[in-house]
Structures are given as structure tokens and as C-alpha cells.
Chains A and B, each alone.
Chain A
Amino acid sequence: MHESALVQFRSEIRHFYLIAVANIVFAALVMAFGISVLVGQAVSMYETFSTALYVIYSPVILLIALVAALTGFSWLLTGVRVFEGIKTIKDDLDEKGREVSDEALTRLIVRMLSHYRDNRAIIRTMIVVCTLGGVSSFLLGILGSLEFLSVSTDGIVFTLNNYLVIPFMLLALGVALVSLTSSCYFSRFAKVWDERIGKIEESEALLKETLERDRR
């Protein structure tokens, strides 16, 4: 029983570690994306008021970029907190090598459960933030690159602004895809661990009975 539990625990820790890393990388990308647009808009604002109005900045894009930068920043901070906890557990597990005693494995399981209980609310928020971030990124990627869009009974016709926007569009779609995937895995992870916490609560009655049994 110990071997299969160890293999499964090790695999889950590694998979969750990968998701936590991907989450941090894409939070940083969202923040960088927001900041780069903010800087671009700041330049446009300066040119709008200093030149002959050839360039007009968009307050809507400015607001969206500001929200993206701030969301990315707070997403990054919370992501790092979840990542640090899982990294410590993963490092301790890797340090023990292939042979992990029953006691050490149980201790690591208790630590992971404790880490999950501490970050349960954050993980739930991340599921929502990743979904919203993914959808927003997808829409920004599509809208930002379209010059003309026509939907009729004959079909959909669209024209891209410029070939230069294709890399930007692909980046935005990439961020969207990873955010949505991340959200999906976070929610699967939360579902599995919530069920485990439920099982522990069920077995507490047995632990209590064993602990309070009077043999005198």
C-alpha cells in the first residue's frame, strides 16, 4: 500500500508544482503585457496633447491595461505564495530519494493538506481569475488585431490591422489558452483535495474513538 501511495503522492506534487510554475509565468506575462500597453498609451497621451492630434489615445484601452497590470501583479503575489509552499514540500520529497519511510510520507501528506487548507480560498480565487484572465486575453487578442469584421448570412469576413499584430495576437491567444488550462487544472486539483479533506473529516470519528478509548 505504501508504494502506490508514494508514487501517487509524488506524481501529484510534481504535477501541481508544474501548474504553480506555469501560473507564475503567465501572471508575469499578463503584468508585463499590461505595463507595455500602459507605456504605449502614456506616449500616445503625450503626443495627443503635444502634437496636432494625429494620434489619439484610448481611455478604454488605458483602463484595461491598468486593470491587467494590477491583476497580473496581485496574481503573481498570490501565485508565489502557493508556489513556495509546494516547492518546499517537493524539495523535501525529492531529498528523501526513492526510499521514503511511512512516517516521512505521512508527515508530507499532512503538510500538503495543511498547505491546501491554508490556500484553499486563494486557489478558488485563482480559478476565477485564470478563467476571467483567459477570456479577457482571448477577447483582447481578437479585438486588438481586427480592422474590419462583418457577420452576414453569407459568412464572417474579417481583415487584420497589420501583419505585425499577428505575433501580438498569438501571444494574447497563448496567454488565454494557458490561463484557461491553468484554471481547469486548478479546479480539478481543488476538487480532488476537497474530496480528500471530506474523507479525513469522515475518518475523524474513528481517530477520536481510538484516541479516547479507555483500557483501564
Chain B
Amino acid sequence: MSGRRTAFEIYWEILVFCRTPQSFTGIINRCDLNSKTGQEYLGFLVAKEYLVEVAEGDKTRYISTERAGEYTALFSSLYRKLFDTAPRFKL
């Protein structure tokens, strides 16, 4: 997903993607981030315990924790609510 997104949208995208273990490269490719910003987002989520690092052989993978569920559920409900209430666009 590319384009102009808010930090909260990027956090949601990372947390949903990391429901299954993902590598750093996989995450930045999927979320269309560069290494520097990717590192910042992952650093924040790991510090807040929404993501944990898991060692798989010589590779490090990231996986969402249970705490992430509360944020992703709230995010989804807020975004879907935009289409449940006015304003609405139609021809």
C-alpha cells in the first residue's frame, strides 16, 4: 500500500501483516516504507509491546502480540464507521 498515509494507518498495516511472522524486508516491502522509517515504526511498536522479535535460525522475524488486537479492532471500527454515518456520496 503506497500513497499519503497517516502514522496510525501504517501502524495498523504493520500489525495486521505481522499476525504471521514476517521479516524486516517483507514488512517494508509490503507497507511501502524505506529502511529508516521502517526501523522507526517497528522500533516504536516493539517498545510498546505490540510486536515481538522472534529469532528463526539466523533471521529475525516480527510477530504481533495480543495487545495489537485492541488497536487493530479500534482502528477498523473507526474507519468502517465513516461509511455507516453521514456524509455520503452518491450520483
Q: List chain A positions with a Cβ less than 8 A from chain B.
A: 1-2, 4-6, 8-9, 11-12, 15-16, 18-19, 102-103, 105-107, 109-111, 113-115, 117-118, 185, 188-189, 191-193, 195-196, 199-200, 203-204, 206-208, 210-212, 215
Across the interface, B74 reaches (CB within 8 A) one of A115, A188, A210, namely A210
Across the interface, B82 reaches (CB within 8 A) one of A188, A189, A200, namely A200
Given known contacts A11-B90, A16-B89, A196-B87, A210 and B70 CB-to-CB distance under 8 angstroms: yes
Given known contacts A2-B80, A106-B76, A210-B71, A192 and B88 CB-to-CB distance under 8 angstroms: yes
Instruction: Report A19 CB to chain B, min CB distance, Å.
Output: 8
Give the residues in chain A near B50, CB-CB below 8 Å.
211
Are A15 and B89 in touch, CB under 8 angstroms?
Answer: yes
B59 within 8 A of A: no
In the assembled complex, 21 residue pairs joining A and B whose CB atoms fall closer than 8 Å, in A order, are A1-B77, A5-B80, A8-B83, A8-B88, A9-B83, A12-B89, A15-B91, A16-B89, A103-B16, A107-B16, A114-B3, A117-B4, A117-B5, A118-B3, A185-B91, A192-B88, A193-B89, A200-B6, A207-B74, A211-B11, A211-B71
Q: How far is the CA of A2 from the CA of B83 in the complex (A)?
A: 9
Please give the number of chain B residues whose Cβ is less than 8 angstroms from any Cβ of chain A in the complex: 33
Known: A110-B5, A188-B89. 6 other contacts (CB 8 A): A5-B81, A18-B91, A109-B82, A109-B83, A114-B9, A200-B79
Given known contacts A200-B6, A204-B6, A207-B8, A215 and B67 CB-to-CB distance under 8 angstroms: yes
Give the residues in chain B near A189, CB-CB below 8 Å.
89
Are A109 and B80 in touch, CB under 8 angstroms?
Answer: yes
Given known contacts A5-B81, A102-B76, A211-B11, A110 and B1 CB-to-CB distance under 8 angstroms: yes
Across the interface, B79 reaches (CB within 8 A) one of A109, A210, A211, namely A109
B12 within 8 A of A: yes
Give the residues in chain B near A203, CB-CB below 8 Å.
78
B75 within 8 A of A: yes
Across the interface, B4 reaches (CB within 8 A) one of A118, A206, A207, namely A118
